[in-house]
Amino acid sequence: MPSRGEKSERGSSPLVAIVGPTGVGKTRLAVALGQTLRGEIISADSRQIYQGMHIGTDKPTVEQRKLVPHHLIEIVAPDREFTLAQYQEMAYEAIDDVLTRNRVPFLVGGTGLYIRAVLEGFTIPRVEPDHLLRAQLLQRAQGEGHQALHTRLEEVDPAAAASIDPHNVRRVIRALEVYEALKQPISLLQKRKPPPYRVLKIGLTMDREKLYRRIDERVDSMMERGLLAEVQDLVAEGYDYDLPSMSGLGYRQIGMCLRGEVDLPTAIRKIKSETHRFVRQQYKWFRLDDETIRWFDVGDDGYEVIEQAVVAFLVE
C-alpha cells in the first residue's frame, strides 16, 4: 500500500467487500476488521442513506461509528431523489479518499445492485426522472398488481426482467422509464467497466432457519427500540407513505398499520415474513456458487479465520 499521504494508484489498491444477506453480521465483522486493520467502512445499503431513519434500517450504532469511520450513511433526506449513479460516484470518491490516507476501504452491505455497480463498474444510463410516467406506472401497479408491470418489462427487456424481482416495483418502473425515454433496453445500456481495484469479496452466510430466527429477534428488538414511533415521527414531519424511502422493510408495514389497513401484530408478522423473502432474493444477488466470493459460514468459521484471509490478501 502507498505510504501516508501518497496518492494511491487504483490498479494496485485493495478493496475488501463484505456481502451477504441481511442480519448475518456484516457490520459487526466490518467494525472488528476495521479496528484491527486500520479500515473504514463504505456502506452499500440503499436504506441507510436516509437521514432520520435509524431503527428500521438497523444503522450502525453511534458506538460502532466511533470505533471505525463510516461513509455514505445518512446522506440524503427521506424525500430526496437518490440514484444508483449518484451512489456509484460517491462510493468511488469515498474509496479513493480512504486509500489516499493509507487506510483499508471495506465496502459493506446487502444491496446487491449497489455492490455490483461499484465492483463491476456499471455504466449507468443518465435518464432524468419522468414523474408523470412514474405516477402512471405506479397507479397501474396498484390497480393491476406488480406482476402487470413486470410482464410489460419482460416484453421490452427480458434480460432486465430476469434480474429484477417483480416485487421491486421501483426498479421495474425505472427500467421501463429508461426504455420509454431512449427506446432501448436498460440491460443493453448498462455496460460494465470494472474499476482497477484489487478486490477481495468476503461472503457471510449461515443456516437459513437460524438466520430467519435471528431476523425475527431483530424485528422484535426494533419494535422495542421504537420503530412504531420512528415511523409516526417521519409522517408527522411530512414524509409521505408513498416515498421510496418509506417503502423499505419495516416502514411499509408499519405504515399500513398507521393507516388502519392491518393491526400491529399483523404488521410485525409481515415485516418478518417479507424480510425472509428479501433474504431469499439476496441469495440470488450473492450466490453461494459464485467463485468470486469467498464464503464463510458464521456458524462454523470464527473471526480469526476471516481476519487471516483478509490479512493474506492485503499483503499480497
Convert the pLDDT of each residue in 272-283 to its tens digit: 999 999 999 999
Question: Looking only at Cα atoms, what is the longest distance across the chain?
Answer: 59
Give the architecture (CATH level 2) of 10-124+191-207+286-314. 3-Layer(aba) Sandwich (3.40)
pLDDT for 236 equals: 97
Sequence ranges of the domains in the chain: 10-124+191-207+286-314, 131-188, 209-281
- Cell (9 digits) for 63: 458506538
- Cell (9 digits) for 307: 481476519
**How close are the terminal C-alpha atoms of the chain, in Å?**
10
Please indicate, yes or no, whether the overall pTM of this predicted structure exceeds 0.85: no
What number of other Cβ atoms are within 10 A of residue 132's Cβ? 8
Cα 265 from Cα 215, distance rounded (Å): 16
Cα 59 from Cα 47, distance rounded (Å): 9
Q: Summarize pLDDT for 141-176 with one digit per residue, the tens.
A: 889 998 988 999 998 888 888 888 888 888 898 888
Q: Which residues touch 135 (CB under 8 Å, ≥6 apart)?
A: none
Give the architecture (CATH level 2) of 209-281. Orthogonal Bundle (1.10)
3-class state of residue 168 by DSSP: coil
DSSP 8-state symbol, 174:
H
What number of other Cβ atoms are within 10 A of residue 312's Cβ? 10
Q: What is the mean predicted confidence (pLDDT) over 289-299?
A: 94
Report yes or no: 49 and 82 within 8 Å, Cβ to Cβ: yes
pLDDT at residue 11 tops 60 = no
What number of other Cβ atoms are within 10 A of residue 256's Cβ? 16
Cα 252 from Cα 212, distance rounded (Å): 20
What string of DSSP letters covers 135-162?
Answer: HHHHHHHHHH-HHHHHHHHHHH-HHHHH
The residue type found at 182 is L
Distance of CA 185 to the CA centre of its chain: 24
Element (H, E) at 217: helix 208-225
Cα 50 from Cα 42, distance rounded (Å): 15
Cα 233 from Cα 11, distance rounded (Å): 46
Tell me whether residue 242 is exposed, middle or buried, using C-beta atoms within 10 angstroms of its C-beta: 0 to 12, 13 to 18, 19 or more: exposed
pLDDT for 276 equals: 97
Q: Summarize pLDDT for 88-126 with one digit per residue, the tens.
A: 999 999 999 999 999 999 999 999 989 999 999 988 777
Cα 299 from Cα 204, distance rounded (Å): 10
pLDDT for 290 equals: 95
Cα pseudo-dihedral 171, 177, 183, 187, rounded to 10 = -10
pLDDT at residue 8 tops 80 = no
Sheet hosting strand 70-71, strand order edge to edge: 70-71, 39-43, 104-108, 14-19, 198-205, 293-297
Lowest mean pLDDT among 40-54, 76-90, 181-195: 181-195
Give the architecture (CATH level 2) of 131-188. Orthogonal Bundle (1.10)
Cα 133 from Cα 177, distance rounded (Å): 7
10-124+191-207+286-314 and 131-188: identical CATH topology: no
